[in-house]
A and B are shown apart, each in its own frame.
Chain A
Amino acid sequence: MMVGAFIAYSISMTFLGYWGALLITPVATFMLGYMLDAGLLRRVIGQPQFVVVILTIGLGLILRGGVSMIWGADTKNMVTPFSINQFQAGPIVLPMKLVVIMLATSILVTILYIFFKLTRLGIAMQGTAENQLAAAYVGIPTKRIFSLVWGLSAAISGLAGILVAPLILIDPNMGLVGLNAFAAAVIGGFGSLPGAAVGGIIVGITQQLASYYLPEGWRESAPYLLMLAVLIVSKEGIFSKRIQKKV
């Protein structure tokens, strides 16, 4: 996401402007994701999960350091066509950039839902995720699918970077907001899409309440405390969908 934001920033400074950035960045990050998988992640296919986790941490460090070196470590602001406007619906007044984010997210989620449910490629991706061996047997090019998934994920992250950049400003550590997503996933329950959405809303509300009632600094940590509390009560979160391993 961070790389996407930086790339978009640079593109938006050129003649292509914001809309150019919006179009080109997801493509660029898609290629980055695809190449990362094809080049590096494919080589660690057989190994246990946490190895991949550590690999991605390493990659994250390289990307963060690399971005610092190329763009400099100071925070940057991205200018969008919506930075200034406001949106008014009755008594509610919202900054335009927030509205744009909400709109874009809804459109994106819908597109992705349709993609995964109805298109061949989407179903192939799900199948590969569930059982690589079986997918390979029925003729799905699993290695290519994985790279495509990484590319797709990177593209969406890049897009997210563009959307959120006006909100949280661009700097190499902006990616850490992604951790909130984990708290949201835990609270809402893994394996359940409506759960993730509910979790996200709860996290957002918690942050706002925390910044209002608790001293400075707790805003970021409050969702994690809530996450721990939810874990104490139930392993699975509110709406989870986990099936027992068949032995």
Chain B
Amino acid sequence: MHIVQKKSYDQDINLFEDMRELATYGGLFLCLLAAPLVLAPFYVKELALVLIFTIAGLSLMLLVGYTGMVSLGHGAIVGLGAYLQCWLLKQEVPFLLSLPLASLATGLAATIVSFPALRLSGMYLAIATLAISLLLTQMYTEWTAFTGGLQGVAVPKPFIFDYPLSEPVPFYLVSLLLTTICLFAVKNLLRTRTGRAMIALRDSAVAARSMGVDEVRYKALAFFASSGLAGLSGAMLAHYVGFISPESFDFLLSVKLLIVILVGGLGSLPGAALGAAFVVLLPQLTSLLKDSFPGSIAAQPSLETVIFGMILVGTIIWEPQGIYGRWLKIKHYFTVFPTYRKSTFVKQKKFVKTERMR
């Protein structure tokens, strides 16, 4: 069992506790960097999609897992980033500029539109975000000058100083860089005052307010950060698919993002990556399974819906801490072997009072 000796406050303040952790994640990064050397271009592109979904997962994880605010409409916000990126590129804004601009603009716009709903909490906020996502989708359909309406719009190819990014390998490397930056940024938030304020709001808004946390301001900040990240992932997603329309960012995308954070492990950063990998690999899995299903069921287009639903239900009932939670349990098993007890992880049941008394 590896015990970390703490010799200075900086060890707790730093991103990594000790050299071992740094080496582990550094090694992971190097492996990912070298991936194009060993994988075929198709798989490199798939990996890029995993990275894009990781960013989107991070955005929702920050909001739901760390600030406790549920959003059922993040798919539409991702769409906002996609459309903004597309529009900015059409205005001849260089890619290097359009990406951060699209991300910031998404963060700002989404926060402004959702601001009245942010003071709601729990289930009410969730439904409000659903309503707002419907409004956004409506806008994508109606505002044809900006979005091209129901027919959709082709995404201009990305270039950095005339170097084309549309090839799998450069696109993948840019995605890797962006994901690393986003992870770094989110980790920074979480180890400082702002992030602690958000976590405080999740666990006890009353106590947080009494400690000086301005609830309205920090909820808005959390939503801004989350939407900004979602916008960034949307911009990259637009380039990945090449052609976007309001249908690409429907409720099903919001559900996919929820699966990312739930199946990955709510409240953890690795969870976003694990969940993203799961969601991107899922279609491959289902096509493999389709062969074992009787023909009539397999042919249905709504099979995807049912499977997503079953995954959501299954995760909540059997593995609420997601893949990352399962990984921690496995690590724990080996750490305390042979004294492992199943009851270590049995959750205490809490009885919930009605939300009316808020």
Contact = CB atoms under 8 A, between A and B. Distances in A.
A/B contact in complex, CB under 8 angstroms: yes
Interface stretch (A96-104, A161-169, A215-223): A215-223
A49 B122 contact: yes
B320 A221 contact: no
Nearest to A39: B317
Interface in A205-247: 215, 217-218, 220-221, 224-225, 227-229, 231-232, 235, 241-247
Interface in B253-304: 255, 258, 262, 297, 300-304
Contact of A225 (B135, B141, B142): B135
Contacts of B347: 46-47
B313 A62 contact: yes
Nearest to B349: A46
A65 B356 contact: no
B206 A218 contact: no
Contacts of A93: none
A183 interface: yes
Nearest to B70: A50
A38 to B, nearest CB: 13
A228 B304 CA distance: 33
Nearest to B300: A69
A220 B134 contact: yes
B327 interface: no
Contacts of B348: 46
B164 to A, nearest CB: 38
Interface stretch (A12-20, A108-116, A128-136): A128-136
Contact of B349 (A45, A66, A229, A247): A45
Interface string B107-126: 00000010111011011101
B105 interface: no
B165 to A, nearest CB: 35
A120 B309 CA distance: 36
B303 to A, nearest CB: 7
Interface string B336-358: 00000000000111111111111
Contacts of B301: 68, 73
A221 B133 CA distance: 10
Q: How large is the interface on A (under 10, 10 to 19, 20 to 34, 35 or more residues)?
A: 35 or more
B123 A49 contact: yes
A227 B131 contact: yes
Main secondary structure of the interface of A (DSSP, over half): helix
Chain A CB within 10 Å — which of B130, B302, B308, B317 has the most?
Answer: B302
Nearest to B136: A221
A94 interface: no
Given A46-B348, A179-B134, A69 B310 contact: no
Nearest to A131: B353
A131 B354 contact: yes
Contacts of A53: 70, 72, 122-123, 126
Given A69-B300, A225-B135, A231-B119, A59 B309 contact: yes
Contacts, number: 170
B305 A221 contact: no
Contact of B306 (A44, A55, A66): A66
B309 A58 contact: yes
Interface in A121-179: 129-133, 136, 172, 179
B183 interface: no
A54 B258 contact: yes
A227 B130 CA distance: 12
A79 interface: no
Given A54-B312, A68-B302, A243-B357, A228 B116 contact: yes
Given A44-B316, A51-B320, A231-B119, A58 B311 contact: yes
B312 A61 contact: yes
A40 interface: yes
A95 interface: no
B236 interface: no
B82 interface: no
A194 interface: no
Contacts of B351: 45-46, 131-133, 136
Given A49-B122, A231-B120, A61 B316 contact: no
Given A40-B313, A62-B310, 18 more contacts: A49-B123, A53-B72, A53-B126, A54-B70, A61-B305, A62-B313, A64-B302, A64-B309, A65-B304, A65-B306, A68-B302, A73-B301, A136-B351, A179-B130, A217-B141, A221-B135, A231-B116, A245-B357
Going nearest first, the 4 A-B pairs with the smallest beta carbon separation are A58-B312, A61-B309, A65-B306, A231-B116
16 contacts: A50-B122, A54-B258, A58-B308, A64-B309, A65-B306, A66-B306, A73-B301, A130-B354, A131-B354, A172-B302, A186-B128, A224-B132, A227-B131, A229-B116, A231-B119, A243-B357
